[in-house]
A and B are shown apart, each in its own frame.
Chain A
Amino acid sequence: MKQFWKSMLRSPSGVIGLVILLLAVSVALFGPMLFPNSPWRMVQRPFLPPFTLSTVPLGTDALGRDVFAGMIFGARVSLLVGLVSTLVALVVGIPIGAMAGYFGGKVDDALMRFTEFFQTIPSFALAIVLVAILQPSIYSIVASIAVVSWPPVARLVRGEVLSLRTREYVQAAVVTGQSNTWIIMREILPNALSPVIVLASLMVATAILLESSLSFLGLGDPNLISWGYMVGAGRTVIRQAWWITVFPGVAILISVLGLNLIGEGLNDALNPRLSREGR
């Protein structure tokens, strides 16, 4: 573990990524405490340009709502949706991949055809259809992002399990009569986790992008303010008020960038052999 942090902190991308993530998480956790009022509330005249009033540093939108407050509350939605949908995708993808890799044969065939099927469907289009049909809410958004993002997890885990299954210590466990579940859970999966962690960090980034795109199209949770929604709302008035679209977009860019950098840092730390030669 110590070793892991050491190499993680040695990679510049990992450090920058961690700093960005810490910042984003603290904004999401503590930010709303500084802004006790709802971000939906009108605080000033509409279209107040940024940097004119210190109380409303980033200006107001078409309805006089505080852009800065919206961004702070939006951080919550983005990070939450990103994390939870990735977790759900892992919960679906890991067992499917593990079973396919461990049992092989017909089970593997069936599960992998199923996975490939979901991988062929255009993911964003499916997410749109799912959210539209289930009605936009934070639950349908998380569910649909999870539905479109589990297949790579299953494929990755399958590959790892496939190569670990033939190792001697696994064979030993089989000989001693351990149950399949026990072997998969205790012997195989812990050793297959590091590439999954790398993938997961990248998945959170993709999930944030997906959520913002859905919200931008008007498929966000109508009760929660989010970055994508803000950009979408500012779109029609972009000629008069550039700041409404620019700032929330920067927030998305920075968070996604941070998570991608963490992914790279994790990759360096967890698969040192690959990364040294790769760069």
Chain B
Amino acid sequence: MLSFISQRVVKGVIVLLAIVVLNFFLIRLAPGDPAVVMAGEAGASDQVFVKQLREKFGLDKPLPEQLFIYVKGVVTLDLGFSFRQQAPVAKLIGERLPATLLLTLTAFAISLMLGVLFGTFAARFAGTFLDTAITVFALIFYAMPIFWVALMGILLFSVTMDWLPSFGYETVGANLTGLAHAVDVAKHLIMPAMTLGLFFMATYTRMTRASMLEVKRLDFVKTARAKGLSDAVIQRRHVLRNALLPVVTLAGVHSGTLIGGAVITETVFAWPGIGRLMYDALLQRDYNLLLGVFVICSAMVLIFNLITDLVYRLVDPRIEFAS
């Protein structure tokens, strides 16, 4: 188990380094002087700042040396300075990270629970009206762009019914504490988390349904039935556990999409996470900040993938950790 984890961590670090290198070349892909590009539109006119950047990144030195300086900076968590926001990029991201984690993890939990639940139901009642209804709903949610779902949610639940707040993380100026504050944040969280979760819920529903139906006709299920096990036990212990494996894999594959969805969701709901930060960086052409967020997003995906790998091993009845 430990060697497996360390192996995966090493692999993840290598991939992350490769992403940092990619980042380095991305900046140089932009038309113009990299120092001016990094400074962003606001900083580009400030000659002192551009000169500082040029010195810091050794932009007059040969390319390999520049790459080394850049990678060294990122490894020591120095993601550069955002001229526009007048703060180090790492600090800006650090402040916003908890909100993004809260949003994405809630959305993930909602989508996985509801998706597996609906998928199981659809498979259990395959061919009936319930199955068709679930399948059709999943298909529709799967085809809706996240930003549009978000706006329709606002239109319905904020503008028309006035049930939920349409933007922000908490009620501004309310100065709530303790439980009242938690409830306030939860109210603000519902719509963004549901929006982000719906698309993935649709995916997990489809996946669970297909994979339940596939596992159901395998030999070991017949054996279980022949042994006289009750239907409920077979469904839960034998079918579901095996059917969940592709779902777990999918969750890992989708972690990148989840982060991408968070950029959109946070933008629409003005949720103060790194996705919104990315959008702000985009609007202001603050490339240093943009690329910093990109590296952190990639790191988050890698960590998430590592976790899903571990979960897969825990769920999969065929793999036992010999300890």
Residue interface bits A9-35, CB-to-B below 8 A is 1, else 0: 000000000000000000000000000
A277 contacts B by Cβ under 8 Å:
yes
B19, A124: Cβ atoms closer than 8 Å: no
Asked whether, in the complex, the Cβ of B152 is within 8 Å of the Cβ of A246, the reply is yes
Contact of B159 among A129, A209, A239, A277 (CB under 8 A): A239
Assess the B31–A123 pair: CB atoms within 8 A.
no
Any B CB within 8 A of the CB of A135: yes
Contact yes or no, A257 B140, CB < 8 A: yes
CB distance from A251 to the nearest CB of B (A): 10
- Complex Cα distance A185/B119, Å? 40
Q: Which of A135, A217, A252 has the most CB of B within 10 A?
A: A217
Contact B287 A132 (CB under 8 A): yes
Q: Does A91 contact B (CB under 8 A)?
A: no
- Given A235-B151, A249-B152, A257-B140, are A133 and B30 also a contact pair (CB < 8 Å)? yes
Contact of A253 among B29, B144, B278 (CB under 8 A): B144
With beta carbons under 8 angstroms apart, the residue of B26, B37, B267 that contacts A217 is B267
Rounded to whole angstroms, the CA-CA distance of A205 and B199 in the bound complex is 14
In the assembled complex, the CB of B204 is this many whole angstroms from the nearest CB of chain A, namely 16
Assembly CA distance A260 to B140 (angstroms): 10
Residues of chain B contacted by A261 (CB below 8 angstroms): 139
Contacts A120-B301, A213-B264, A235-B151 known; A260 to B139 CB distance under 8 Å? yes
CA of A134 to CA of B29 in the docked complex: distance in angstroms? 7
B contact residues, total (Cβ < 8 Å)? 56
Interface size class of A (residues with CB under 8 A): 35 or more
Q: Is the CB of A218 within 8 A of B282?
A: yes
Contact A120 B290, beta carbon cutoff 8 Å: no
- Tell whether, in the assembled complex, residue B256 and residue A122 are in contact, meaning their CB atoms are under 8 Å apart: yes
Q: Which residues of A contact B301 (CB under 8 A)?
A: 120-122
B145 touches A252 (CB 8 A): yes
A130 at the interface (CB under 8 A from B): yes
- B130 → A minimal CB distance (Å): 14
A238 CB contact (under 8 Å) in B19, B126, B159: B159
Contact A123 B257 (CB under 8 A): yes
Segment 69-102 of B: residues with Cβ below 8 Å from A: none
Task: Say yes or no: is A203 at the interface (Cβ < 8 Å to chain B).
Answer: no
Task: Report chain B residues within 8 Å CB of A235.
Answer: 151, 268
Tell me the bound Cα distance from A123 to B256 in angstroms.
6
Cβ-based interface call for B35 (8 A): no
| CB pair B148 A219 closer than 8 Å | no
Check B260 for interface membership: any CB of A closer than 8 A: yes
Residues of chain B within 8 A (CB-CB) of A279 are 126-127, 213
Enumerate A111-147 residues with CB–CB distance to B below 8 Å: 117, 119-130, 132-135
Whether B147 and A213, one on each chain, are in contact in the complex, defined by CB atoms closer than 8 angstroms, is yes
Q: What chain A residues lie within 8 Å of B139 (beta carbons)?
A: 257, 260-261
Q: How far is the CB of A279 from chain B (nearest CB, A)?
A: 7
- Interface check A228, CB cutoff 8 A: yes
**Interface digits, A87-123 against B, CB 8 Å rule (1 contact, 0 not)?**
0000000000000000000000000000001011111
State whether B30 touches A217 (Cβ < 8 A): no
CB distance from A273 to the nearest CB of B (A): 12
- By the criterion CB–CB under 8 Å, are B143 and A245 in contact? no
Residues of B within 8 A of A129 (CB): 26, 290-291, 294
CB B198 to nearest CB in A, in angstroms, measures 13
Q: Shortest Cβ distance from B146 into chain A, in angstroms?
A: 7
Which A residues between 237 and 251 are near B, CB-CB below 8 angstroms?
Answer: 238-239, 242, 245-246, 249
Cα distance A124–B267 in the bound complex, in angstroms: 14
Residue in B126, B145, B256 whose CB lies within 8 Å of A120: B256
Q: Contact between B29 and A238 (Cβ–Cβ < 8 Å)?
A: no
Q: Name the A residues within 8 Å of B31 (CB-CB).
A: 135
B298 CB within 8 Å of chain A: yes
Instruction: Compute how far the CA of A130 lies from the CA of B290 in the bound complex, rounded to whole angstroms.
Output: 11
Q: Which 3 A-B residue pairs are closest in the complex by CB-CB distance?
A: A124-B260, A122-B256, A249-B148
